[in-house]
Structure 1
């Protein structure tokens, strides 16, 4: 449970609001009056200021976000501030943004090195809110969660009626020989039954992209495959392993033939196929050391 989750407002049996105001949030407000439960020093509801903070961050309103963070921090509700900013990280921030780490660091400084309500703690709060407001906001994770959850209900209802769902998950049925055939390697039961071992994984499942490997990584990969004493890779296999995925069709296979056929469902094992036209001189390497050494010389510079 995140800090502050156990401090949310609850209602008693008589309908009255029950709160747990932390000691740091007690005292007088700016007008010299004793603060009510969940009141900030400026006389606002901390629930309203907390909501304002996240909405301001989401709308990239830097000044309002900075003020809301400052108000919560100085009023003794730093736990509410950092809880809200961390919620923003997962609810409203574009995936992969380094702002998540920035906010985490400011929280660490404000709460572990300094006092949250004091000057340095308040500066950390403002910095974190500004960093969040300047980051690219998106509801992509929340939208994806809502969409996938809705589709799950549609699928379940269609299944109950023994009908095809009007909307389905983007992966369909996830069957071998389908769009996502590359996932059925030796790491899965179906792939193991089909004898899809290291060779299949290296030439199908381990491909990256669409940028592909950089020159150094590609050199290492090619040499590692050439030096593999247990698995043979033809030049076409090497090209296939290093071929970046197509950004328009990331699950499609490249035109390069690997010289092996993994679709034999009769035996469930690898079967050798003829090399394609133009690949007559690209037979798989044998274990002859001199031949392997000659191949390596092309990539050792």
Structure 2
């Protein structure tokens, strides 16, 4: 829940543990004894159960995860349960998993429609924990964060010494003409200064991943480019625009396509003075075919 962070344990100036046990977590435990601060109904420390929950879902131990969620929910620590599961979504779950939305929905039901510690709320807690435990766990987010942070420190230290860094970011210096040349279109200052406008974006910056455009999307892209009265695209341009990237070289360009958008070539083609000789509209018609060819 949103106020979960306010209920985390803190340490006083003398090093002693300061706690803020919520009213829902007071009362007696299963043995009829008054609950100590941060004690669950089963007599466990709620920090241990909370940690157990996350480690269980990380290790795909469904039964232990379900129990830990149930124990926290019934003991008045539902806020801790949902806070921990939300943390799991960003810390331990594979990016793109729709389990994140499932967990969010269970939390909404348990905390907004029903009471978290009551039967329906406990069922939501169990279901959410099981969904988390069944999802694909990974530490890719925290691992990436830690790695990039370490590289940033080493990179800064190397610059201070006037040396090349032994470890660098995966993008290098990000300069036009380099591996990531396609990013420097008209949306960037460098691309604007290079005269890279819509044509460059369509044929370089807008290309998609290894799966490529779907049949309809590719057809729409080609037709939209042919119908663009402000730009004159060649057949090679049309092919390049819908060419999927190479999974082993996602920033490379198709070898069969033209290497770049050359403003001087564009001028030659549009006024019919290209060295190819055929020139003008006839050449364009032969190269690209009619609109009806693309609308079948």
CA contact (8 A) 2:225 2:238 kept: yes
Q: Which residue of 1 aligns with 2:58?
A: 58
The 3-state SS of whatever aligns with 2:228 is: coil
Q: Deviations over 1:214-249 (max 9, x none)?
A: 101111111100110111101110001111000000
Q: 1:198 to 1:246 in 2, by over 3 A?
A: same
The 3-state SS of whatever aligns with 1:142 is: helix
Shift of 1:3: 3.1
Shift of 1:271: 2.6
Q: 1:153 to 1:195 in 2, by over 3 A?
A: same
Do structure 1's residue 149 and structure 2's residue 149 form an aligned pair? yes
Q: 1:55 to 1:285 in 2, by over 3 A?
A: farther
Q: Deviations over 1:183-203 (max 9, x none)?
A: 000000000001100000000
Unaligned runs of 5+ in 1: 263-269
What is the alpha-carbon distance in structure 2 between the residues aligned to residue 223 and residue 13 of structure 1? 69
What is the alpha-carbon distance in structure 1 between the residues aligned to residue 219 and residue 91 of structure 2? 40
Q: Which residue of 1 aligns with 2:247?
A: 247
Shift of 1:292: 11
Q: Which residue of 2 aligns with 1:298?
A: 293
What is the alpha-carbon distance in structure 1 between the residues aligned to residue 146 and residue 17 of structure 2? 30
- Alpha-carbon RMSD across the aligned residues, in angstroms, is 2.4
Matches within 5 A, 1:138-217: 138-217=138-217
What is the alpha-carbon distance in structure 2 between the residues aligned to residue 136 and residue 283 of structure 1? 57
Shift of 1:50: 0.2
The TM-score with structure 2 as length reference comes to: 0.92
What is the alpha-carbon distance in structure 1 between the residues aligned to residue 141 and residue 186 of structure 2? 31
What is the alpha-carbon distance in structure 2 between the residues aligned to residue 253 and residue 3 of structure 1? 50
Q: Which residue of 1 aligns with 2:272?
A: none
Q: Which residue of 1 aligns with 2:273?
A: none
CA contact (8 A) 1:237 1:259 kept: no
CA contact (8 A) 1:25 1:77 kept: yes
Q: Which residue of 1 aligns with 2:265?
A: 272
CA contact (8 A) 2:235 2:288 kept: no
What is the alpha-carbon distance in structure 1 between the residues aligned to residue 279 and residue 58 of structure 2? 58
Q: Which residue of 2 aligns with 1:118?
A: 118
CA contact (8 A) 1:232 1:285 kept: no
CA contact (8 A) 1:260 1:272 kept: no
Shift of 1:256: 2.8
CA contact (8 A) 1:234 1:284 kept: no
What is the alpha-carbon distance in structure 2 between the residues aligned to residue 285 and residue 108 of structure 1? 62
Unaligned runs of 5+ in 2: 270-275
Query: May I ask how many residue pairs the two structures share in their alignment?
Result: 289
The TM-score with structure 1 as length reference comes to: 0.90
Shift of 1:259: 7.4
What is the alpha-carbon distance in structure 2 between the residues aligned to residue 110 and residue 294 of structure 1? 60
What is the alpha-carbon distance in structure 2 between the residues aligned to residue 108 and residue 133 of structure 1? 19
Q: 1:283 to 1:208 in 2, by over 3 A?
A: farther
What is the alpha-carbon distance in structure 2 between the residues aligned to residue 298 and residue 60 of structure 1? 53
